Amino acid sequence: MEPQREWFEKDYYKILGVAEDASASDISKAYRRLAKELHPDANPGDSAVEDRFKEVASAYDVLGDSSKRKAYDDVRRLGPMAGAFGPGGPGGPGAAGGFNLNFEQMGDLQNLFGGLFGRRRRPGDTGQRGADIETEVKLDFADAVSGATIAVPVTGEARCRTCEGLGAEPPARPQPCPTCSGTGVTEENQGLFSFSRPCTACAGRGVVIDEPCSACRGRGVEHRRREVKARIPAGVTDGQRIKLKGRGGPSQGPGAQPGDLYVRISVKPHRLFGRDGKNLTLSVPVTFSEAALGAHVKVPTLDDSTITIRIPPGTTTGRRLRIPASPSTGGADLIVEVEVVVPEHLSDEQRAAVEAFAAAPGDDPRPHLRRKTSDHGESS
């Protein structure tokens, strides 16, 4: 919507909840109260509040500035004229009430909103969305377990550093298109109706560039290698893809969004540790006597220190012991899987000890496998 028409159609006093003769300090008080209440940080993801916040900011941008406020009051007063002809119609901009809009300030406002919300698409928005990019990073095992912030190298189209993506040869900057006053659309009045179409002078961009940037020939993008900081969450697995919204290829032209960056994670395997979901796993061999009598066993941790774990008496192969998460386990629970090792060769002393064990009375481990007499069918 063009600024003049927006001024005519919107009641900024009502939006700020103040009287039309409110003092400047009442207006700024009302604005501060609403801005605090409606700020996007306080209402994340609520688009209705977001719209209201923008409305309030637009209203204050005008009413908070005494000269703009006076111009606005004029437009409101001369409203029917502005509505019938509109800018670009008979008399062109200025016919409605003898005011001039400061497009630089409008631009600032859009930048502010663009930064906060991402701009809505307007008729003059002819930009092209940036490309989605996928890249792979190799992650150390410990970083995958505990999460890490890494620099992801990306080679491809990036914002031109010479012109900061604006396309104009520094120090010049793109200027608002004089034909469409920076809106990207022109209107043609036919009787009571007006038709809007993309401005041909600026191809709907709303800006014109006198001298294109020599580095990117005005495209605003260049091919180069850059690094994108990425926060990798704890527990990421091999092959997982992480989406970094808006960190892909740059957009071209106004109103378009940059692409997304997808980082495919490849996790280097660890010599000792494995993973089971979010848990760390470690296989720990123990001797027969450690398993039978119980023992305290030292095992390595992810940060190259050691912890002592308790093997309870009577532990069998395959028993899983859970060690609660700690910094030395990378913040993951450690699942120790016990493996009872049977020696392949026995010394004489060992043999004698095991034979003594075998000779001692003990429980039969296989009662359930023994044939009962009734199973025989033909007993004695």
Q: Work out which of 59, 163, 338, 340 binds Zn ion, going by CB under 5 A.
A: 163
Distance of alpha carbon 262 from alpha carbon 265, whole angstroms: 10
Question: Which of 28, 179 has the CB closer to Zn ion?
Answer: 179
Question: Which of 121, 229 has the CB closer to Zn ion?
Answer: 121
Helices (H), the chain: 3-9, 12-16, 24-38, 47-63, 66-77, 79-85, 103-117, 141-146, 288-293, 348-359
Please compute, for residue 244, the number of CA atoms within 13 A of its CA located in the half-sphere on the CB side.
24
Question: Which of 196, 328 has the CB closer to Zn ion?
Answer: 196
In the complex, least distance from residue 254 CB atom to Zn ion, rounded to whole angstroms? 11
Distance of alpha carbon 79 from alpha carbon 68, whole angstroms: 16
Residue 70: count other Cβ atoms within 10 Å of its Cβ. Answer: 10
Number of residues interacting with Zn ion: please give it, by CB under 5 A: 12
Q: Work out which of 162, 287, 326, 328 binds Zn ion, going by CB under 5 A.
A: 162
Question: Which of 160, 263 has the CB closer to Zn ion?
Answer: 160
Please compute, for residue 90, the number of CA atoms within 13 A of its CA located in the half-sphere on the CB side.
9
Sole window of 81-89, 134-142, 172-180, 251-259 interacting with Zn ion (rule: CB under 5 A): 172-180
Distance of alpha carbon 102 from alpha carbon 372, whole angstroms: 101
232 binds Zn ion per the rule CB under 5 A: no
Q: Which residue has the tokens 């020939």?
A: 217
Question: Which of 16, 180 has the CB closer to Zn ion?
Answer: 180
Sole window of 56-64, 159-167, 226-234, 238-246 interacting with Zn ion (rule: CB under 5 A): 159-167
In the complex, least distance from residue 107 CB atom to Zn ion, rounded to whole angstroms? 14
Site string for Zn ion, 174-213 (x = CB under 5 A): ---x-xx------------------x-xx----------x
| Cα dihedral across residues 19, 25, 30, 34: positive or negative | positive
Q: Work out which of 49, 116, 137, 215 binds Zn ion, going by CB under 5 A.
A: 215
In the complex, least distance from residue 200 CB atom to Zn ion, rounded to whole angstroms? 8
In the complex, least distance from residue 162 CB atom to Zn ion, rounded to whole angstroms? 4
Site string for Zn ion, 115-154 (x = CB under 5 A): ----------------------------------------
In the complex, least distance from residue 223 CB atom to Zn ion, rounded to whole angstroms? 12
Q: Work out which of 56, 57, 216, 261 binds Zn ion, going by CB under 5 A.
A: 216
Distance of alpha carbon 164 from alpha carbon 258, whole angstroms: 14
In the complex, least distance from residue 253 CB atom to Zn ion, rounded to whole angstroms? 13
Cβ(40)–Cβ(117) below 8 Å: yes
Site string for Zn ion, 22-61 (x = CB under 5 A): ----------------------------------------
Distance of alpha carbon 260 from alpha carbon 250, whole angstroms: 9
Q: Which helix (H) or strand (E) holds 283?
A: strand 279-287
Q: Work out which of 56, 160, 232, 302 binds Zn ion, going by CB under 5 A.
A: 160
260: CB partners within 8 A, 6+ apart: 132, 133, 243, 244, 245, 246, 247, 248
CA-wise closest residue to 244 among 257, 256, 231, 235: 231
Report the Cα 210 to chain-centroid distance in Å. Answer: 36
By CB under 5 A, name the binding residues for Zn ion: 160, 162-163, 177, 179-180, 199, 201-202, 213, 215-216
